[in-house]
Amino acid sequence: MKITKQIIENIYAGWLGKVIGVRLGSPIEGMWYHGINEKYGEITDYLFDYDLYAADDDTNGPLFFLRGLEDGGHGKRMTAQDVGHALLDYAPYEHGFFWWGGYGISTEHTAYLNLRAGVKAGASGSIALNGATVAEQIGGQIFIDTWGLVCPGNPDLAARLAKKAASVTHDGNGVWGGIFVAVCVSLAFVEKDINKIIERALAYIPYECEYARVTRAVRDFYKAHPDNWRECYMFVRENFGYDKYPGNCHIIPNAAVVVLSLLYGAGDYSKSICISCMCGWDTDCNAGNVGAIMGTLVGIDGIEEKWIKPINDLIVCSSVIGRYNISDIPEGALYIAKLASSLCGDELPEPYRALSAEENICHFELPRSTHAINVIRSRDGVFSFEKKRYAEGEEKPAPNFSITNTNETANSGARSLKITSPAAIPGEKVLAVKYTYYHPSDFSDSRYDPEFSPVAYPGQTVRAAAYVPHGSATACVFCYDERHDKMIYGKKATLKAGRWQTLELEIPRIEAGLIRCVGVCFEAGQNGDFVCFVDDISISGNASYTVDFSKEKSERWHWKHIDVSQFTRVKGIFRLDGGASHLSGPDFAEVYTGDVLWRDYEYDVSLEAVSGREHYVNVRVEGAMRSYAVGFDGDEFCIVKNNYGRKKLASVKHKLELGRQYRVGVAVKGDTITATLDGELMLAYTDKKPLLFGSVGLSNRNGSHTKYTLIDIK
C-alpha cells in the first residue's frame, strides 16, 4: 500500500508504543502475578522514574535485525541469511544487546554461536540442531514487531519476512509466534477491531500448532467471560503456565498474556499494556508486543501523554556501531518508513522524502515528537550538562520550562518544537540541547550494557532554525566540548519576531576533544514568559579531530562492564593504562569509534605491538563482519578485507618489531585504499567491490596485545 503521511505517523506510534511497553514492564520483568498484585496493585503508570532508560534487548533486536533488509539488498526476496548477517554484524560478541545465557540455554546466544561457526541461517535456530526447548523460547516474537511496521497493511509480506527473520534464532512455535505478532502489527494499520486482527492473524499459522491452540483458548475464554481479565489469567496459568513448558522463558505462556491483554484491553492502549504487565512473567517483552500492536492501531493521539513525556523520544541501543546507539524514536520510525516505501516500490511523501536523505536531523514533523531535545536555563551564563541522578523516592523538582511539538509555525514542513520559559529576565539564556554523547552516570541502570561513540564531531557543521513570535531575542548555534570544558558558539543573530532564521556553526578541529551536546542558545530580550521555536537541527560534514588516550576515561557501568570512552567493543579486553589504550584477546579483539556514515577520510594511528604477530587499524567499518584492516600480519604489512569472511587484498614484506612505536596511516577515497607506515607509502589497492562507508577501529588477532596512544581523523 502507498506510504502516506498517516502511515508514517502510525509507524511512529507503533514504534513509540513498543518502547513505552518495554519501559513499563522492565522493573517487574520475571515477577509473577501475585507478587506484582501484592506490591503494586492496579498498575496505571510507570513503576519507576528512570533518570534515563538504558538499552534493552526488546528494542535492540527489532532495530538491528531489520537492517538485514537493507544491507542484504534483496527487498521482498530477503533471505534468512540476510538477517543472520545482521545479527553477526551488529551484536557484540557475548555481551550487551540481548541475554547471553549460554549455549543451549539462551536461544539467541545459541544461534549467534552457530552462525559464527558457519551454520547457515535458518538451520542456526532450528529444532533439528538446537532442540525444541531452545528453539521455542520467547525471542521469536519479542524481536519481530518491526517486520509488521515495515509492511503496513500487507500481512502476506509481513508473514513471509517475519518467518525468515524468526528462523535465524527460533523454530516451531517460536517462528509461529513471530509471524502472528508481525501480522497483527501489519493489520493494525488498516483494521481497528482487535478481535478481527487476532482472527485474521491466526490464519497465517498452522491450525494445530500450540501457539494457535493457546490463542484460540484465550479467545474462547474471553468470549465466555469478557469482563474479568484476572479470571482469564488464572485460566491461563492453570492450563498454559510456566510449569507446562520447558526452558527459561517459553513463548506459549507469554503468548497467552499478549492475546489476553489485547482482548481485555478492548482497544485502549493504556489498559492493554497495563494488563500485560499485571499478568507478570516476561512483562517488558509482552508489554512491548502489545504496545507495538496497540500503538499502531490507535495512532499517536491514542497514547496518553503520561507515557510519552518521560521517554522524550530518546532510544539508547547497544550494538557494536556507536553512531546507532544514541538515537531517537522519530529517526527509527523514518528508517522503517524508508524501508516500507522501498518494499512497495514507492517514494515517501514530502517532507519525509527530503528528510530521509538527512541521516541526522531533528525535523519535528511527527506529531508530539521531541527528538530527545532537553532545555537548560541560565541567568549567569554558566551551564552544567551533567544529568543529575535521583535516588528512588527522591522528589524531582518541576521543570522551569515546557516543550511542545506544534503546528503553529515551522521553518520547513508543517511542525516545529515550541519552548516556553516562564518568568525570564533580559539576558537570560535558554538552551535547546541535543545530547550527542552519554556517560554511565546519566542512566539509572546498565540494562544490556550500552556503549557509545559521539554523534557529533569536531570539523562537522551544526545547523538549526530559530524563531520568536514576538519581542526581542538573539540566538546562535552552540556545541559543548567536554574534554576542554568549553562552550563553542556560532555567529549570534538578532531574531526578528515572526521570521525564521537559519543559524550554523562549523565546529573547529579539536585536539583530544569530545562533543557532549549541540543545540541552539537563545538570549531573552525582555522580562516575562519567553517563547521560542526550533526546527531542522542537523549535524553534517566531515570530522577532523584526534583521540588522545591519555585524555580518555574509563566508563564504569558496573564491575563487569567498564568501557573506554568513545569506543564500542566487539570482543577482547580494551582498557586504559599508562596514558595509552591496550587491546588484547585470545582469538581476535576489535573496537570501533566514529560515524558509520563517513565515506572518504584519512586515519592515522600510533601503535606499539606489545606481543603477538597481528596488529591492525580498521577503516570503513560497516559492522563487525564488514570492514578493512591495515597493519601487521607477522612479517608482512597488509590490507585485509572482511566481508563475512577475511581476505588479504595486498601485502608487502616488513619485519614487525615488538616494543617499537609505529604510525600506521590509511586513506580511503572511493574504491581505493592507501596505506603508509611512518609516513612512507607501503600499499595502494583498488577494490572492485568496495565497502564505501563506515567508521574506524582498532583490532588484533591470535593472542596479540597492542598499545595505542593517539588516533587522528580527517
DSSP 407-435: SS--SSSS-EEEEEEEEE-TT-EEEEEEE
C-alpha span between 542 and 549 (Å, rounded) = 22
Cβ-contact 181, 293 below 8 angstroms: yes
The pLDDT of residue 504 is: 97
User: Domain ranges in the chain?
Assistant: 7-326, 358-540, 567-713
- 50 pLDDT band, cuts 50/70/90, is confident
The pLDDT of residue 356 is: 73
- 384 pLDDT band, cuts 50/70/90, is confident
pLDDT at residue 391 greater than cutoff 70: no
Cβ-contact 320, 91 below 8 angstroms: yes
Q: pLDDT tens across 24-39, in order?
A: 999 999 999 999 999 9
Q: pLDDT tens across 220-260, in order?
A: 999 999 999 999 999 999 999 999 999 999 999 999 999 99
Is the torsion defined by CA of 645, 651, 655, 656 positive or negative?
negative
C-alpha cell at position 17? 508504543
Residues 6+ apart with CB under 8 A from 127: 135, 136, 171, 172
- 358 pLDDT band, cuts 50/70/90, is low
Q: Superfamily for 567-713?
A: Exo-inulinase; domain 1 (2.60.120.560)
Which CATH number fits the domain 358-540, given the four candidates 2.60.40.10, 3.90.1010.10, 2.60.120.260, 3.30.465.10? 2.60.120.260
Cβ-contact 700, 615 below 8 angstroms: yes
358-540 shares its CATH topology with 567-713: yes
> pLDDT > 70: what percent of the chain?
98
The neighbour count for residue 709, using CB atoms within 10 Å, is 18
Fold adopted by 7-326: ADP-ribosylglycohydrolase fold (1.10.4080)
Residues 213-220, mean pLDDT to the nearest whole number: 98
Q: In Å, what is the CA distance from 523 to each residue of 274, 381, 384, 502, 559?
A: 43, 10, 17, 16, 43
Cβ-contact 136, 178 below 8 angstroms: no
pLDDT at residue 392 greater than cutoff 70: no
C-alpha span between 315 and 51 (Å, rounded) = 13
The neighbour count for residue 220, using CB atoms within 10 Å, is 11
Residue 406 pairs in a beta bridge with 416
- 390 pLDDT band, cuts 50/70/90, is low
- 399 pLDDT band, cuts 50/70/90, is confident
337, with CB counted inside 10 A (0-12, 13-18, 19+), is: buried
Residues 705-710, mean pLDDT to the nearest whole number: 98
C-alpha span between 657 and 697 (Å, rounded) = 22
C-alpha span between 217 and 232 (Å, rounded) = 10
Q: pLDDT tens across 462-518, in order?
A: 999 999 999 889 999 999 999 999 999 999 999 999 999 999 999 999 999 999 999
How far out from the chain centre does Cα 321 lie? 9
Q: pLDDT tens across 251-306, in order?
A: 999 999 999 999 999 999 999 999 999 999 999 999 999 999 999 999 999 999 99
C-alpha span between 710 and 578 (Å, rounded) = 13
The pLDDT of residue 387 is: 72
